[in-house]
Structure 1
Amino acid sequence: MEAGLLDIESGRADGETIHTVFRAAHSIKGGASTFGFTEIAGLTHVLETLLDEMRAGKREPDTESLSALLQSVDVLRALLDVAERGTEPDRASVQACQSRLEAILGGGHKAAAKPAAAAAPKAAESAGWNVVFKPHESMFMSGNDPLRIMRELERLGEMKAECSFERLPKFADLDAFQSHLWWKVELKGDIKKAQVEEVFSWVEDECDLEISPLQALVVAAPAAAAPAPPPPAPAQPQAVKPQPVPQDTQAASAGAGGATEGTLRVQVSKVDALINLVGELVITQAMLKQAGSELDPGQYERLLAGLVQLERNTRDLQEAVIGIRMLPVGSVFSRFPRLVRDLSTRLDKQVKLKTVGEATELDKGVIEKIADPLVHLVRNSIDHGLETTAERVAAGKSEAGTITLAASHQGGHIVIEVSDDGRGLNRDKILSKAIERGLSVPENPTDTQVWELIFAPGFSTADQVTDLSGRGVGMDVVRKNILALGGEVGIESRAGKGTKITVRLPLTLAILDGMLVQVGGETFVLPLGFVIEALQPESANIRTVQADSRVLKVRGDYLPLFSVARLYKIEEEAANEPMVVVVESDGKRLALEVDALLGQQQVVVKNLEANYRRIPGISGATILGDGRVALIVDVGGLARGVTTQPAANQ
C-alpha cells in the first residue's frame, strides 16, 4: 500500500497502481474481519471506500487524499503492532484518522459530526495524559536525545516521570552509543493530545510510544443536577465473528498456499548453528589437508584424492549454507521512499530517490546492522546535502534534488553508495572548524584528508544543529558501526556537484578466502579481497625517505613499504628472498613485506574482540590446520594509517 501510494504521489504510477493499492486494502480488511480485529477492519472499510472512488475515476488522488491515506498506513501499522503485542490500541488516533478519511469522502459533512460525538469525553481528557516512551536502541544514531524530549514534555504541565532500567545491560556489555532506558510519564494539566504528540514528532519512527488519558473518560454529574441520560458512547466497530470463507477466497488461499509450498521458515538460531558447524568442518578439512601433505602421493593416492574431493565438497557446502543467510539489500532500501518523502515534506524540499542494485545480496546479520547507518547518511544528504528549491534554481539546477542509493558486488565485498547532487562539502569551512577545535590537520591536505576530518567525534560544520541530522554529528558513530562489521567508509565530494559516501562491506562475517603469509615464526592471514598482487622486489626499487620510512617502486608508482614484522614487533628472521604483497583499501595501495607466501586458504573468522579485546591492526583470528591461531590483518586500518605498535605490546 505504502509503495503504491508513494508512486501515485510522485507521478510514477500507471493505471494498475491504484488497483494494487485497493486490493491490498481489501485483503487487509478481509483478514482483519476474519480474525476479529475490529479497529483494523473499521478503519480499512473507510479507507477502501475512498480508494474505490479513486479506482472508479470519481475522485482524483489529490495531495490531501494521499496524505490521509499514508496516515492510514501508519495507523494500520500501529494497530498490527498492538495486535501482536496484545496491548490496548490508541483509539483516539484511529478515530482521528477515520474522521479525516470520512471528511474527505463527505466533503466535510461527516467530519463535523465526529467532534460533537466526542464532545463529552473532552472534559475528562483535560486532566492529563499517561505516556509510555521507549526509545529504540538506535535513537542516538539520528542525533536525537531522549532527555531533550523529556524536558519538552515538562514544559507542557506538571510532570511525574518514572525511569525503567529493565533493558540496561551489565556494565561489561554496556554500549554508550545505544539508548537502554525508557520512561513512564504522568502529565497533568489542560493539555491537548496533539501537543503531546508534537513533542515526539521528530522521533515517532525511533521509539515505541503509548499515550492514553490520565483518567477514564467518565465525568461524575453534580449532586444537584437533574437526572439525565448518559451521553452516547463513541461509536465503536462491532466485533466481527468469523464468517465462512467464500468460494473465491478459498480458491485464492489455495493458490497462495501452492505458491509457498517450496519454502520453509527456519529460526535464525538454527541457521547460525549450522554455519558454526560448517566453520568447524572447514577447520577439520584444513587439518586433514595439512596432514595429507606429508604422505607419499604414490602410496596414498586414493586417500589424497578423497581429501581433494572433501575440500571441494566442503567449499560447496559452505557456499550453500552462507547462501541461506543472504538477503537482497532491497529489503533495506524499501524503507527509504517513505523516509525521503516525509523528510522532504518537512524541510520543504523537492527530492527524488533513485535506487540501483536492489537485488544485490548481503548476509542477514550485516543487513540488520547497516540499516541505521544508511538512514543517518540519507537524512544527512536531504537535510544538509541538498539545497532548497530556490537555491537549486539560482544555481541552474533542476528544482528537485536526487538521492541515489546503489549496491553492487566488487570481488568478495558489497559496495553501497549514498550520493546526492547537492551543494557538496565546504572544504574551507571544514578546515576552519577543524583548526578551531584543535584537530590535527596535515600541511597542504588533500581533499580526501579534509573529508576524513568529518569522522572526528562530534565534528560538525552546521551553524545550527537540527533534530534531523548534521553532516558530521554522528558520523564517527556511523564509521564505528561500519568498522565493527569489517567494512570501510569513504567520502568523495565536489563543490556545487554533490557528495558520495561509499560503504564497503564483506559479503559475510563467517568465512573468508585469505592469503597465508609467514612473518618470523608466525602466520598471518591477508583477506584475499584486498590483495592486488605478490612479487619479489628488487633492491634497486626500494627507496628510503624521511629517516626510516621506505617506498617501493611498482610499475612507475611509489607505494609505502611496511615490514609486517616491525609493525607487530615480531622478531625478524633473515629471509634470503623476502616477498612483498601489494594490498589496496579505500583507494589506497601499500606494500607489505613478509618472509614467505604459504598459499591461499579458506579460513573461519573468529571474533577476537568477543573472546579477548579489540587489537589495533587486527580484524580477527582463525584456527589453522595444525591447530595454531593465525591473526587476520586489518588491511583497512593499515591503509587509514592506524598504528599497530600498541598491538605488539598487548
Structure 2
Amino acid sequence: MGEMTSEGASLSAGIDLSQFYQVFFEEAGENLDSMEQLLLNLNVETADDEELNAIFRCAHSIKGGAATFGFGDVAELTHIMETLLDKLRRHELQPTSAMVDVLLQSGDALRSLLARHQGSSGEVVDATDLIATIGAFVNGQEAPKPAPKVAVAAPPPPAPAAAAPKSSNPAARLLELQVGPLADLSLADNLVELFKEITDLGTIEPLDAGSAADGFRRFKVLTSSTDNDLLDLFTFHVAREQVKLLPYGPGFGFHEGAPGAPEPEPVSDDPGYGFFDNAPGVPENTAGSNVIAAPAEATATPVATTSAKPVARTDAASKPAAAMDQSTLRVSIEKVDQLINLVGELVITQAMLAQNSRDLDPAIYQQLSSGLADLERNTRDLQESVMSIRMIPMSIVFNRFPRMLRDLAAKLGKKVELVTQGEATELDKSLVEKITDPLTHLVRNSCDHGIETGAERVAKGKPEHGTITLVASHQGGSIVIEVRDDGRGLNRDKLIKKAREKGIDAPDSMTDVEAWNLIFAPGFSTADQVTDVSGRGVGMDVVKKNITSLGGTVEIDSAEGYGMKVSVRLPLTLAIMDGMSVGVGEECYILPLSSVVESFQVQKDTVKTVAGSGRVVEVRDEYMPVISLEDIFHVPRFDFEKSSNIMVVIEAEGGRVALLVDELLGQQQVVVKNLEANYRKVNDVSGATIMGDGRVALILDVGSLVRRSRH
C-alpha cells in the first residue's frame, strides 16, 4: 500500500488486528473442513439450494476475514470461488464434477496460503491457474484452457443492482447507508462490502457516487434484520464516524437524478481486498494505491442521524447473534497440558495422604478420615473432568479420509465407498495426532491392494463399488479402531511363499493368525509390483511399530476373496492409566490392568523346564512361557525366606506369558511419566509413576515382555 497519511496511520494504529489472527486462522480451517465435506457429499446431478448455499457461506466467510486482515492472496482466490458458487446457487450454471474438483484443489491451495501466513515454511503456492480455471467456469466454458502466467485482472466494482423489489416480508425495512467522509471515495465500496459481511445485511444498492467536495457515498439498504445496533458489530473494524445507518427517505443525502447531484467520481481498479497497512499477505506497493483517511474535521454538510448510541462491548455479547459463541472457549493445548500435569500431581499427593492415614484410628480421627474420603472422591471426579477436556471425537480423524479416497480411487480407476461408524467415540488428542498416519496407511492399502477393480468385482459376483469401513468403539479401558474392506483378502499360500523367499521361518503348520502376521516383517510385501501409492505389507512394520509405541496392539483377520480386517487397540489416554501394582523384593512394578488376564499361586510341580533354559507353566492344559521379573531386572533380595510364588498372566500382541512375582499390592490409577524424556530408554519399561509413599515405580511394557518370551 502507499504511504498513509498521519490521520490514516492513527486509524490503523488504533486497531491491533494481530490479536485476532489466530481466531481467524482457526475459523478459516474449520470453514475449509466444512466446505471440503460438503463438496465431497455433493451430488452434481441432484444438488439442492441448501447444499450450495452452505458451500457458498464457507467461502464467503473466509473471504470476509481475509479481506479484513489484509491477506490479499487468500481473498483473491476465495473471491473468484465465491463468484462461481454464487452462480451455482442462483442456477445460472449447472454444477459439474470438474467444478467440484477445482474447488477442492482451491481448498488445498487456501490451506497452504493460510499456513504460510501463519509462519509455516511450506511451498509457495501460485493460485493463478486455479483462478483462471474457475474464471473460465464462471464464463460458461466447460473445458478451460491452461491459464497464462500473467496477473489476474482485478474484478470490477460491484455493478448497481436492480431496484430492490418490495419485500413481502413485513419485517423488511429500508435504510440509508452513508459512508464518509473519505479522501478517496473508491474505498466506499470496500467498506460497504465489509460492513455487509460483518452485519449480514440484505440487498445494498448505490444511490449516488458522491463528490470530492462532499466526501460521502450513499447506499439504499433493504434488510430483514431486527438488530437495532448493527453499527456496534462494526465498531471493531473501522472508525464509527465513517459509516452511518439513516432512515431512508427524502432529505437524507443526494438521490440519483436529484437537482444538484454531483457527477460520479471515477472508481479505482484496485479490488481492495484488504486495507490495513502492514498486514501480512498484503499485495506489493503500487502506484495509486488506496488508503483510508481518518475522518476529516466536520466541514461537510451536517447530516441528520438516528444511529444508536455506542453501547458497551459486553452488551453485544448478550445478543442472539453472539449467543452461540458463548458455548465454546478456545484454550491453547499448552494450558490444558499444564492443567493435566497439575491434576496428576494432585492425584499423587492424595494417594500419599490416603496411604499415610491408613494406620490412624477412624474413631479418633473421624473428621479427618471423612475429609480424606471426600478428597479422594473429588480428586477422581476432577481427574476425569480434566482428562475429558483433551478427549476429541474420532470424526476428526475419519473426516480426512473421504477426500483422500476420492482422489486415490480416481487415480487407480476404482469405485470405492467409505462407511464410518462410531465417529463420536472419543480419544485423547495426543493419540489422535499420532494414530492418523498409521490409519492413513491402512486405508490406502485397502484401496490400492485390497479392493479389486470394478470388472474383477463384477466377475466375482460382487457389487462394482468396493466398500471400506472405519469403525471406532470403546472396549473396556481401550478404544478399538477397525479398518475393513470387502476386497480380495490375504492369500495364505502366497504369504508363506513370500516369507520363505525372504528367509523368514514359515512352516506349513502355521496358524492363519501367524500367517497374517507375516506382513508385519520389515520390507515384506505381497504386491506383484511396486506402486507409488502403497503395497499391502510395504511399511506395515512401521505401522505396527508406531502403534506399539503408543501402548497399542494390531490384529489382522482375513478371508480370501471376501476381505480383510485390521483391528487397532489403543489406550484411551497416555497420561493416566489403570494399573495393577506387583512387588518383587523391595521393588514395585506396575502392569497395565487392561493386559492382565488372571493371577494365581503357583505350585512347584506345575513349572517345567524346556530345552535346559526356558520355563513354562501348565494352566488348564495349556503351557505358557514363564518370565521372572526378579531375573530380568536383577532385583536384589534381602529377605531370603521370601520367594516368587505368584503368577500374573498378561496378554499382548496375540500371545500370553506368566510373570513370576512376590506379591500383588493392589489396583490403582497411576499418572504416567515419560521415562525416556526424563532419563533414558529402558528395555521392557514403557514409563514410570510416583506411588503414594513417594517411591518411583516402573510401568512394564507388556508387549516387549511377550516378544522376549518368543525369542
Normalized against structure 2, the TM-score is what?
A: 0.66
Question: 1:70 is aligned with what amino acid?
Answer: L
Find the partner of 2:407 among 342, 355, 376. 342
Q: Name 1:25's counterpart in structure 2.
A: 59
CA displacement at 1:61 relative to structure 2: 2.4
Over 3 Å counting, the alpha-carbon distance change for 1:436 and 1:297 in structure 2 is same
Which of 60, 76, 80 is matched with 1:46 structurally?
A: 80
Q: 1:571 to 1:77 in 2, by over 3 A?
A: closer
Q: 1:318 aligns with which of 374, 383, 394?
A: 383
Trace 1:374-453 onto structure 2 (pairs within 5 A).
Answer: 374-441=439-506, 444-453=509-518
- 1:19 CA displacement: 2.2
Match of 1:99 in 2: 132
In percent, how many aligned pairs have the same letter?
54
Distance 2:445 2:517 in 1: 16
Residues 221-249 of structure 1: CA deviation (Å, up to 9, x unaligned): xxxxxxxxxxxxxx9855454899x99xx
2: CA distance, partners of 1:633 / 1:372: 26
Asked if structure 1 preserves the Cα contact closer than 8 Å seen for 2:554 and 2:569, the reply is yes
In 1, Cα distance between the equivalents of 2:103 and 2:525?
38
- 1:550 paired with 2:616, answer yes
Report the equivalent of 1:186. Answer: none
Greater Cα offset, 369-378 or 557-566: 557-566
Q: Distance in 2 between matches of 1:304 and 1:109?
A: 79
User: What code does the residue aligned with 2:482 have?
Assistant: E
Q: Which moved more, 1:55-64 or 1:567-576?
A: 567-576
What are the residue-to-residue correspondences of 1:439-478 with 2, within 5 Å? 439-441=504-506, 444-478=509-543
Amino acid in structure 2 at the alignment position of 1:78: S
> Would the aligned equivalents of 1:552 and 1:591 in 2 still touch at CA under 8 Å?
no
Mean alpha-carbon deviation: is it higher for 108-117 or for 49-58? Answer: 108-117
Letter in 2 for 1:618: V
Q: CA deviation at 1:64?
A: 1.7
C-alpha RMSD of the superposition: 3.6
Check if 1:78 corresponds to 2:144. Answer: no
Between the aligned partners of 1:549 and 1:29, the Cα distance in structure 2 is 69
Deviation at 1:349, TM superposition (A): 1.0
1:131 maps to which residue?
none
Q: Deviations over 1:531-573 (max 9, x none)?
A: 233344567876776665323334x766555444445454676
2:141 corresponds to 1:108: yes
The separation in 1 between residues aligned to 2:49 and 2:625, in whole angstroms, is 60
Question: Residue 402 and residue 612 in structure 1: after superposition, are their counterparts in 2 closer, same or farther (change >3 A)?
Answer: same
Q: Matched residues in 2 for 1:264 and 1:239: separation?
A: 29
Task: Say if 1:349 and 1:255 are closer, same or farther in 2 by CA, change over 3 A.
Answer: farther
**For 1:143-198, what per-residue CA distance to the aligned partner results, in whole angstroms no more than 9, with x for missing partners?**
xxxxxxxxxxxxxxxxxxxxxxxxxxxxxxxxxxxxxxxxxxxxxxxxxxxxxxxx
CA distance in 2 between counterparts of 1:423 and 1:110 reads 38
The answer on 1:37 being equivalent to 2:104 is no
User: What's the CA shift string for 1:410-447, capped at 9, x where partnerless?
Assistant: 11111111221111122222222222222233562112
- State whether structure 2 residue 626 is matched by structure 1 residue 592: no
Contact 2:645–2:660 (8 Å) recurs in 1: yes
Deviations 1:605-639 (A, max 9, x none): 12222233333322222222222222222223334
Give the whole-Å Cα distance in 1 for the aligned partners of 2:655 and 2:142: 67
Amino acid of the structure 2 residue aligned with 1:28 = I
Larger radius of gyration: 2
CA distance in 2, matches of 1:600, 1:259: 43
Q: Which residue of 2 aligns with 1:228?
A: none
C-alpha distance in 1 between matches for 2:577 and 2:123: 48
Larger displacement relative to structure 2 (396-405 or 437-446): 437-446
- Report what 1:351 is aligned to: 416
Match of 1:331 in 2: 396
| Alignment-mate amino acid for residue 353 of structure 1 | L
Match of residue 588 from structure 2: 523
8 A contact 1:9–1:66 mirrored in 2 = no
Number of matched pairs = 524
Change (3 A) 1:498 1:292: same
- Does the aligned pair in 1 maintain the 2:414–2:453 contact within 8 Å? yes
Superposition deviation, residue 341 in structure 1: 0.8
In the alignment, residue 333 of structure 1 is paired with which amino acid?
Answer: F
Question: Do residues 642 (structure 1) and 675 (structure 2) align?
Answer: no
SS in 1 for 2:524: coil
CA spacing shift, 1:437–1:12, aligned 2, 3 Å: farther
**Partner of 1:625: helix, strand, or coil?**
coil
Amino acid at match of 1:61: P
> Structure 2: which 5+ runs fail to align?
1-34, 153-268, 277-291, 296-306, 309-314
| Aligned twin of 2:549 | 484
SS at match of 2:708: coil
**Displacement of 1:4:** 0.7
Q: The residue matched to 1:606 in structure 2 has which SS?
A: coil
For 1:334 and 1:356, locate their aligned partners in 2 and report how far apart those are by CA, in whole Å. Answer: 12
Query: For residues 358 and 515 of structure 1, do their structure 2 counterparts lie closer, same or farther at Cα, with a shift above 3 Å needed?
Result: same
2:693 to 626, 631, 634: 626
Give, as a single letter, the amino acid of the residue that structure 1 aligns with 2:618.
Answer: L
- Report if the CA contact (8 A) 1:39-1:237 is conserved: no
Tell me, yes or no, if structure 1 residue 276 matches structure 2 residue 310. Answer: no
Alpha-carbon distance in structure 1 between the residues aligned to 2:90 and 2:82: 12
Helix, strand or coil at the partner of 2:443: helix
Correspondence for 1:55: 89
1:24-43 CA-to-partner distances (Å, cap 9, x unmatched) read 22222333333343333333
Q: Write the mapping of 1:252-267 to structure 2, written as runs, cut at 5 A.
A: 255=320, 257-267=322-332
Displacement of 1:490: 2.0
The answer on whether the counterparts of 1:282 and 1:314 sit within 8 Å (CA) in structure 2 is yes
CA distance in 1, matches of 2:526, 2:71: 50
Is the contact between residue 552 and residue 559 of structure 1 (CA under 8 Å) also seen in structure 2?
yes
Q: 1:254 to 1:353 in 2, by over 3 A?
A: farther
Aligned to 2:681: 614
Q: Distance in 2 between matches of 1:355 and 1:439?
A: 36
Pairwise CA distance, 1:340? 0.8
Q: CA deviation at 1:48?
A: 2.5
Q: Aligned ranges for residues 6-21 of structure 1 at < 5 Å?
A: 6-9=40-43, 16-21=50-55
SS at match of 1:288: helix
Structure 1: where are the runs of 5+ without partners?
A: 120-234, 646-650
Residue among 646, 670, 680 paired with 1:579: 646
Counterpart in 2 of 1:502? 567
Deviation of the 1:467 alpha carbon: 2.0
Paired AA for residue 109 in structure 2: V
CA 1:534–1:264 in structure 2 vs 1: closer, same or farther (change >3 Å)?
same
The aligned amino acid for 1:605 is V
Q: CA deviation at 1:71?
A: 2.1
